[in-house]
């Protein structure tokens, strides 16, 4: 986009570009998302930034009306395979908070100076500034949705000190943490603490979201003991256990965004009015954590699982022009290509198959400290499955670190390494790349391997798999 086309998007309050860029107004000192409902500022007073961190670095504060820190992430970070895209995915997963910039650089195979230079040149902010913006958003969520003490929130959000936390909140939101919390005092008056009821969240997405299709897939794949889907179609809740850097977690996500929640994360009332097709721009979720420092990582893993940072407009524009896919795209707006909440778990489950995955959970899964509903375990760590006759080579490669499937992994390199392992077929390697590594342009099945569908072949495969023919065979088979 040019700056003029960006200004046109701001003038028309076009929500398609929320999270893709931000605009700041020199006369007010505030930065916003493109769809901000405020009066459109004069062009000469507007500057554009690729990230919220870049706007903050130039001294602008977050708008109170449009909450620019709470937009979906840019779909570019899912598409891009270069070092900047990989770095952004890793920062989102909390690597800088846990390991610092040297840890991020080491994982990417570059020096810290090179990473700093590349991110600054392209995004207007370095890794520390990008991580700080993310920490500020996490802190705001905790301040406005829980009764946790401010000191606990500071460290849970990843800040090194309370002073750093206070300074950052004042700079980004132009008020103190207590003032930020007071804004939602009415809504929080009867709300229990985070440890009792989990952290309630709205997981933002852009454009239409075909929730029914995503929940159907998750229900079909669910492995008892670690995940479940309950409730009638259109009003389902997906729950799963999470192995996180600092402890265990349980997440619950509602199929339709009209849900209301009680203190256990169950769904009461609402639901189904849109037929499982989210229309408000978010999915309701609740996350229970043993350690609140894992909140950012847990959120990012859910976002990848539900493909919430996708750009459905770009996908529909490209695939909708294809003679075969055009009618399928028109019939199912907002189809997503789900990822994985735990890449290593998904890879092992792909190789094991459904029955062996269930057996592995029963025999080697880590018991939950506090079981919930039908969830009693975490999926086994790779080290527990190194002796498995089929998945053993993959488990050993993951356990030893020879194979990495984290958000910053090089997708080409990872697929080559997967194909070289005994027991991992070419189709399984492509599927792992699609789901575990979140690649939007992979052909997990031969039918989707068409050059004209690039860079959205993963979405093309989903449309084909979802579309039955007159004889009940999926269009995926017909295209093959």
Rg of the chain over CA atoms, in angstroms? 22
Tell me the pLDDT band of 148, cut-offs 50, 70 and 90.
confident
Tell me the pLDDT band of 281, cut-offs 50, 70 and 90.
confident
Number of other CB atoms surrounding residue 480 within 10 Å: 12
Q: Do 362 and 430 share a structural domain? A: yes
Q: Do 133 and 43 share a structural domain? A: no
348 within some domain:
yes
Tell me the pLDDT band of 76, cut-offs 50, 70 and 90.
confident
Tell me the pLDDT band of 77, cut-offs 50, 70 and 90.
confident
Q: Do 55 and 19 share a structural domain? A: yes
**Whole-number Å distance between alpha carbons of 242 and 445:** 29
- The SS3 of residue 100 is helix
**What region does 100 belong to: left with phi over 0, alpha with psi -120 to 50, or beta?**
left
Tell me the pLDDT band of 91, cut-offs 50, 70 and 90.
very high
pTM for this model (two decimals): 0.88
Range(s) of the domain holding residue 10: 3-70
Q: Do 355 and 257 share a structural domain? A: no
CA 325 to chain centroid, in Å, comes to 26
Would you state the pLDDT for residue 467?
A: 83
Of the residues 435, 453, 473, the one at which a domain ends: 435
- Per-residue pLDDT reduced to its tens digit, 378-393: 999 999 999 999 999 9
Across the range 411-419, mean pLDDT stands at 96
Would you state the pLDDT for residue 270?
A: 32
Q: Do 166 and 101 share a structural domain? A: yes
Q: Do 130 and 105 share a structural domain? A: yes
| Burial of 44 (C-beta count, 10 Å sphere; 0-12/13-18/19+) | exposed
Tell me the pLDDT band of 477, cut-offs 50, 70 and 90.
low
Tell me the pLDDT band of 478, cut-offs 50, 70 and 90.
low
**Whole-number Å distance between alpha carbons of 245 and 333:** 36
Would you state the pLDDT for residue 476?
A: 62
Across the range 209-232, mean pLDDT stands at 96
Which residues are CB-contacts of 468 (< 8 A; sequence separation ≥ 6)? 474, 475
* CATH number for position 118: 1.10.10.60
Q: Do 231 and 168 share a structural domain? A: no
* CATH number for position 408: 1.10.340.30
Would you state the pLDDT for residue 70?
A: 86
Tell me the pLDDT band of 469, cut-offs 50, 70 and 90.
low
414 within some domain:
yes
- Per-residue pLDDT reduced to its tens digit, 95-144: 999 999 999 999 999 999 999 999 999 999 999 999 999 999 999 988 98
Of the residues 21, 52, 70, the one at which a domain ends: 70
Q: Do 216 and 173 share a structural domain? A: no
478 within some domain:
no
283 within some domain:
yes
Is a pLDDT exceeding 60 seen at residue 260? no
Tell me the pLDDT band of 475, cut-offs 50, 70 and 90.
low
Is a pLDDT exceeding 50 seen at residue 11? yes
Q: Do 267 and 206 share a structural domain? A: yes
Tell me the pLDDT band of 279, cut-offs 50, 70 and 90.
low
321 within some domain:
no
Is a pLDDT exceeding 70 seen at residue 185? no
Provide the β-strand partners of residue 209. Answer: 278
Tell me the torsion sign for CA atoms 249, 270, 217, 324.
negative
Across the range 272-295, mean pLDDT stands at 74
Is a pLDDT exceeding 50 seen at residue 298? yes
Q: Do 108 and 88 share a structural domain? A: yes
Q: Do 80 and 62 share a structural domain? A: no
Please count the structural domains in the chain: 4
**Nearest 10 degrees: Cα torsion 166, 172, 175, 177:** -40
Across the range 241-267, mean pLDDT stands at 71
**Whole-number Å distance between alpha carbons of 76 and 7:** 20
Q: Do 176 and 234 share a structural domain? A: no
316 within some domain:
no
415 within some domain:
yes
Of the residues 70, 102, 126, the one at which a domain ends: 70
442 within some domain:
no
Tell me the torsion sign for CA atoms 222, 223, 229, 230.
positive
Across the range 139-163, mean pLDDT stands at 89
């Amino acid at each position: 986009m040019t700056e003029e086309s960006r200004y046109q998007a701001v003038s028309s309050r076009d929500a398609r570009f929320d999270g893709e860029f931000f605009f700041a107004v020199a006369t007010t000192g505030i930065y916003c998302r493109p769809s901000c409902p405020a009066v459109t500022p004069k062009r000469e007073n507007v500057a554009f930034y690729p990230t919220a961190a870049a706007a903050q670095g130039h001294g602008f504060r977050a708008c109170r009306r449009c909450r620019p820190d709470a937009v979906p992430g840019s779909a570019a970070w899912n598409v891009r395979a270069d070092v900047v895209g990989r770095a952004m995915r890793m920062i989102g997963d909390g690597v800088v908070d846990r390991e610092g910039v040297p840890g991020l650089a080491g994982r990417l195979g570059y020096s810290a100076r090179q990473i700093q230079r590349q991110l600054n040149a392209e995004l207007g902010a370095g890794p520390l500034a990008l991580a700080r913006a993310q920490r500020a958003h996490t802190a705001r969520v905790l301040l406005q949705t829980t009764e946790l003490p401010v000191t606990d929130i500071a460290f849970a959000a990843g800040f090194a000190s309370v002073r750093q936390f206070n300074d950052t909140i004042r700079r980004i939101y132009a008020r103190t943490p207590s003032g930020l919390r007071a804004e939602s005092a009415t809504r929080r008056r009867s709300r229990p603490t985070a440890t009792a009821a989990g952290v309630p969240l709205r997981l933002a997405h852009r454009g239409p979201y075909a929730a029914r299709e995503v929940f159907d897939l998750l229900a079909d794949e669910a492995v008892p003991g670690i995940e479940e889907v309950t409730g009638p179609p259109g009003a389902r809740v997906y729950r799963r256990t999470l192995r996180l850097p600092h402890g265990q977690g349980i997440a619950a996500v509602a199929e339709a965004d009209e849900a209301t929640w009680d203190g256990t994360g169950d769904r009461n009332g609402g639901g189904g009015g849109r037929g499982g097709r989210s229309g408000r721009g978010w999915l309701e979720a609740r996350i229970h954590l043993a350690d609140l420092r894992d909140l950012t990582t847990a959120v990012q893993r859910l976002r990848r699982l539900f493909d919430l940072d996708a750009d459905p407009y770009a996908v529909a524009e490209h695939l909708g022009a294809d003679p075969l896919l055009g009618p399928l795209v028109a019939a199912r707006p907002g189809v997503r290509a789900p990822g994985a909440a735990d890449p290593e778990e998904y890879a092992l489950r792909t190789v094991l198959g459904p029955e062996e995955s269930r057996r592995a959970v029963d025999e080697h899964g880590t018991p939950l400290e506090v079981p919930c509903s039908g969830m009693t375990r975490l999926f086994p760590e790779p080290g527990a499955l190194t002796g498995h006759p089929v998945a053993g080579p993959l488990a050993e490669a993951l356990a030893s670190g020879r194979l990495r499937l984290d958000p910053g992994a090089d997708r080409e390199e990872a697929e080559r390494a997967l194909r070289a392992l005994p027991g991992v077929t070419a189709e399984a390697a492509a599927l792992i790349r699609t789901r575990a590594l979140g690649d939007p342009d992979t052909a997990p099945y031969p039918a989707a391997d068409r050059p004209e569908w690039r860079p959205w072949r993963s979405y093309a495969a989903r449309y084909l798999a979802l579309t039955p023919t007159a004889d009940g065979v999926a269009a995926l088979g017909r295209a093959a």
